[in-house]
């Protein structure tokens, strides 16, 4: 779009020519406005994903994109769209695929953000919850949960005055995040965080790890559980129970690095399951 670029460039040149004439106070206000704008844009990854056409990420760098990175058009992700659509029909879904194909960000992360916020995009054909949700997400260890899932959903740990908060530069829109509570005994791992839902209420996201054992998956009912790595069978069973009374959903996203576990096998059609020698 050369026209738009020329316009932008001439506008920038015009502003730049006026900046030296501004008072110091006005220059400081201008810089504060630009920084606030950059921060806002950095917290809007959710709205940038799955565009109609390829787009360029124009906000500050985050875990997944640098300024200038291409965010690919939705049509280039037919498997992801199929995964979402299947949610309207099936309670349990498994996205087993290669590394780096956007299972975490564009698969489980994106759908989790949809259910927490209620902000389903116009093209959404998957499962919908009309009211605020309770969602859990979990990875294998506390550290991978923090460094992969938490960073993808919520961004980085930041400080607001005395308080430790999340930067909101992940796929859950930063402007919708409440204050987190923190896990004991694990540096910088969120325990739960509220997310503003489109209805005006608050959803609740809880972070867990398989390392904490099956027992830590007992408790309240959940509308959604996203497991970003293959869970042990006992944890998976507990997740089924947690989502039974809400007619909730379970999303599994992972690359099968450890052969065929019992949980994976349950998702495979019979002819694809390895046969035991008799
Ligand atoms: N929609 C997208 N458009 C462009 N690049 C993407 C998109 N989603 C993800 N990526 C890139 O792919 C990388 C891998 O994504 P990730 O979700 O971590 O993959 P996986 O979980 O499958 O290993 C991201 O860090 C990002 O750079
Ligand atoms: Mg991943």
Backbone angles phi, psi at 147, to 5 degrees: -80, -25
In this structure, which ligand is nearest to the CA of 230?
2
Query: Is 134's pLDDT higher than 70?
Result: yes
Residue 240, pLDDT score = 97
Single out the residue of 24, 42, 46 nearest to residue 34, CA to CA: 42
Query: Ligand 1 pocket, 80 CB below 6 A?
Result: no
pLDDT of 129: 98
3-state secondary structure the chain: CHHHHHHHHHHHHHHHHHHHHCCHHHHHHHHHHHHHHHHHHHCCHHHHCCCCCCEECCCCCCCCCCCCCEECCHHHCHHHHHHHHHCCCCCEEEEECCCCCCHHHHHHHHHHHHHHHCCCCCCCCCCCCCCCCEEEEEECCHHHHHHHHHHHHHCCEEEECCEEEECCCCCCCHHHEEEEEECCCCCCCEEEEEEECCCCCEEEEEEEEHHHCHHHHCCCCCCEEEECCCCCHHHHHHHHHHCCCCCCEEEEEECCCCCCCHHHHHHCCHHHCCCCCC
* pLDDT band of 3, cuts 50, 70, 90: very low
The answer to whether the CB of 144 is under 6 A from ligand 1 is no
Query: Could you give the residue numbers annotated as active site?
Result: 229
Tokens standing for residue 226: 């996203």
pLDDT at 139: 97
pLDDT of residue 278: 45
Name the residue among 138, 151, 154, 144 with its Cα closest to residue 239: 138
pLDDT value of residue 187:
96
- The ligand 1 atom nearest the CA atom of 63: 25
pTM of the predicted structure, to 2 decimals: 0.92
What is the per-residue pLDDT across 153-168, written as a single tens digit (0 to 9) for each? 999 999 999 999 999 9
Which pLDDT tens digit goes with each residue over 42-91?
Answer: 999 999 999 999 999 999 999 999 999 999 999 999 999 999 999 999 99
Q: Cβ(72) to ligand 1 under 6 A?
A: yes
Q: For position 104, what pLDDT does the model report?
A: 98
Round the average pLDDT of the chain to a whole number and report it: 93
Give pLDDT tens digits for 82-118.
999 999 999 999 999 999 999 999 999 999 999 999 9
What the block records as the tokens of 257 is: 């690095």
Is 118 close to ligand 1, i.e. is its CB under 6 Å away? no
pLDDT band at 272 (very low <50, low <70, confident <90, very high): confident
Residue nearest to atom 23 of ligand 1 (CA): 100
Burial code of 137-156, b = ≥16 C-beta within 10 A, e = fewer? bbbbebebbbebbbbbbbbe
Provide the pLDDT for residue 10: 85
Confidence of residue 1 (pLDDT cuts 50, 70, 90): very low
Task: Say what the pLDDT of residue 264 is.
Answer: 86
- Does residue 227 have its Cβ closer than 6 Å to ligand 1? no
Q: Are 190 and 176 within 8 A, CB to CB? A: no
Res 260: pLDDT: 77
Ligand nearest to the CA of 102: 1
Q: pLDDT class for 267, splitting at 50, 70, 90?
A: confident
Report whether pLDDT(5) > 70.
no
Q: How far apart are CA 62 and CA 68, in angstroms?
A: 12
Could you give the CA distance from residue 110 to residue 116 in angstroms, rounded to a whole number? 10
Distance 134 CA to ligand 1 centre (A): 25
- Ligand 1 in contact with 102 (CB < 6 A)? yes
Distances (CA, A) of 143 to 140, 147, 149, 179, 210: 8, 6, 10, 21, 11
- Give the pLDDT band (50/70/90) at residue 122: very high
Testing ligand 1's pocket by substitution, the residue of 64, 79, 257 carrying the most ligand atoms inside 8 A of its CB is 64
Q: Which residue has a Cα nearest atom 27 of ligand 1?
A: 64
Q: Would the pLDDT of 41 be above 80?
A: yes
| Size (the chain), residues | 278
Is 276 a residue whose pLDDT tops 80? no
């Amino acid at each position: 779009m050369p026209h738009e670029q020329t316009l932008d460039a001439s506008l920038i040149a015009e502003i730049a020519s006026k900046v030296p004439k501004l008072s110091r106070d006005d220059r400081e206000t201008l810089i504060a406005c630009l920084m606030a704008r950059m921060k806002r844009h950095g917290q809007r990854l959710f709205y940038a994903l799955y565009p109609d056409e390829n787009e360029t990420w124009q906000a500050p760098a985050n875990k997944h994109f640098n300024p200038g990175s291409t965010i690919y058009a939705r049509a280039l992700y037919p498997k992801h769209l199929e995964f979402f659509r299947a949610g309207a029909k099936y309670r349990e879904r498994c996205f087993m695929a290669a590394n780096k194909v956007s299972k975490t960000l564009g698969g489980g992360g994106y759908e989790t953000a949809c259910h927490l916020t209620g902000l389903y995009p116009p093209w959404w054909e998957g499962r919908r919850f009309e009211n605020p949700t309770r969602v859990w997400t979990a990875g294998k260890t506390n550290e991978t949960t923090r460094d992969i899932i938490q960073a993808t959903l919520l961004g980085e740990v930041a400080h607001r005055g005395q308080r430790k908060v999340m930067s909101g530069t992940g796929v859950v829109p930063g402007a919708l995040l409440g204050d987190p509570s923190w896990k004991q005994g694990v540096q910088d791992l969120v325990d739960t965080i509220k997310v503003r839902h489109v209805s005006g209420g608050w959803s609740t996201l809880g972070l867990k790890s398989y390392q904490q054992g099956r027992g830590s998956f007992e408790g309240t009912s959940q509308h959604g559980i996203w497991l970003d790595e293959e869970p042990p069978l006992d944890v998976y069973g507990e997740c089924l129970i947690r989502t039974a009374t809400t007619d909730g959903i379970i999303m599994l996203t992972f690359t099968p690095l450890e052969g065929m576990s019992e949980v994976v096998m349950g998702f495979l059609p019979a002819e694809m399951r390895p046969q035991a020698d008799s």
